[in-house]
Amino acid sequence: MLLPKSSCLGGPVTTRCDGNSCPMTDLATARLVLEALALEDARDLFAVRGDPEAMAFWDWPADPNPEATVAVVAEMIREASDGHAKYWALRLRSDRTFVGLCDLSEVRPGDSADIGFMLVRRHWDQGLAQEAVMAVLEYAREIGLRSVYARVHDQNERSVRLLKRVGFVAVQMIPHFEIRPGVFRSCRSFRKTF
Ligand SMILES: CC(C)(COP(=O)(O)OP(=O)(O)OC[C@H]1O[C@@H](n2cnc3c(N)ncnc32)[C@H](O)[C@@H]1OP(=O)(O)O)[C@@H](O)C(=O)NCCC(=O)NCCS
């Protein structure tokens, strides 16, 4: 789930990942809509990715400026167009306020994928991440995945509580995981099996 988004490759990409090469399904919950991430979402996503507190347990430090987030989103859209990942922007159904991001990456058709999620801090503690994660898990099950994995930094208790609430179980302790070149953190791997 904590994919290294280091490369920040790719030029400006404006296509939504909704063409035939990358079918992307919008999802909905009681309070949220989940829609294919678009480059235009980068400014809103910077509210999370540029927030050092929200990024405390991410593999990479907070983005230094909105331009860095644009580059990361461009790379996410490229991955999605290759079919390797699915990224959803989360918005409130009530007024379409941007709430955060949820993704399936490393998609191994018929087998498994990794899940990731991040919310703008003012939307924490309302059960919104849980709602989004449950919708993405249901989608994963529907497309035939058998399990979904999540790797969390050891002290990311909010994420651990969320994962356990939706049925993930701990499968591995990874005491020295190299989160980025030369930087190691203790991590835990979780799995939800359908
Ligand atoms: C991880 C993250 C998404 C969790 O967000 P969150 O808001 O705590 O998660 P949830 O949506 O599950 O909300 C749960 C909390 O809302 C509370 N809540 C309030 N109203 C609720 C409702 N209607 N339904 C459910 N829960 C509700 C719950 O009591 C719960 O609090 P608790 O965990 O203290 O018991 C958020 O902390 C985040 O974006 N972190 C930064 C990025 C990150 O680390 N991502 C994960 C990398 S592995």
- Per-domain boundaries in the chain: 27-146
- Cα distances (Å, whole numbers) of residue 109 to 18, 86, 88, 149, 179: 18, 12, 18, 14, 25
Q: What pLDDT, on the 0 to 100 scale, is given for residue 24?
A: 83
Quote the ligand 1 centre to 124 CA distance (angstroms).
5
Rounded CA separation 75/84 (Å): 12
Q: Does residue 71 surpass a pLDDT of 80?
A: yes
Ligand 1, pocket-test mutation among 53, 104, 157, 158, most atoms within 8 A of CB: 158
Quote the ligand 1 centre to 133 CA distance (angstroms).
10
Q: pTM for the whole thing?
A: 0.90
Q: Largest Cα–Cα distance of the chain, in whole Å?
A: 44
Q: What stretches of the chain show up as alpha helix (H) in DSSP?
A: 42-49, 66-81, 128-142, 157-165
- Residue with CA closest to ligand 1 atom 22: 127
Q: What pLDDT, on the 0 to 100 scale, is given for residue 80?
A: 95
Ligand 1 atom closest to 159 (CA) = 1
Dump pLDDT digits (tens) for 16-50.
333 334 578 999 999 999 999 999 999 999 999 99
Q: Does residue 2 surpass a pLDDT of 60?
A: no
Dump pLDDT digits (tens) for 97-144.
999 999 999 999 999 999 999 999 999 999 999 999 999 999 999 999
Would you say the CB of residue 159 lies under 6 angstroms from ligand 1? yes
Q: Does residue 15 surpass a pLDDT of 50?
A: no
Q: What pLDDT, on the 0 to 100 scale, is given for residue 137?
A: 98
Cβ atoms < 10 Å from Cβ of 126: 12
Q: What is the mean pLDDT of the chain?
A: 90
- Residue with CA closest to ligand 1 atom 26: 127
Classify the C-alpha dihedral 62-63-65-70 as positive or negative: negative
Residue 85: φ, ψ to 5°? -155, 165
Q: Does residue 8 surpass a pLDDT of 60?
A: no
Ligand 1, pocket-test mutation among 29, 34, 92, 124, most atoms within 8 A of CB: 124
Q: Strand 86-92 vs strand 98-108: parallel, antiparallel, or unpaired?
A: antiparallel
Helix axes 157-165, 128-142, angle to 10 degrees: 50
Dump pLDDT digits (tens) for 77-97.
999 998 889 999 999 999 999
Ligand 1, pocket-test mutation among 44, 45, 122, 162, most atoms within 8 A of CB: 162
Residue 56 DSSP SS3? coil
Ligand 1 atom closest to 152 (CA) = 48
Would you say the CB of residue 32 lies under 6 angstroms from ligand 1? no
Quote the ligand 1 centre to 123 CA distance (angstroms).
9
Q: What pLDDT, on the 0 to 100 scale, is given for residue 167?
A: 98
Dump pLDDT digits (tens) for 161-184.
999 999 999 999 999 999 999 999
CATH class of 27-146: alpha beta
Residue appearing with tokens 């993405």: 136
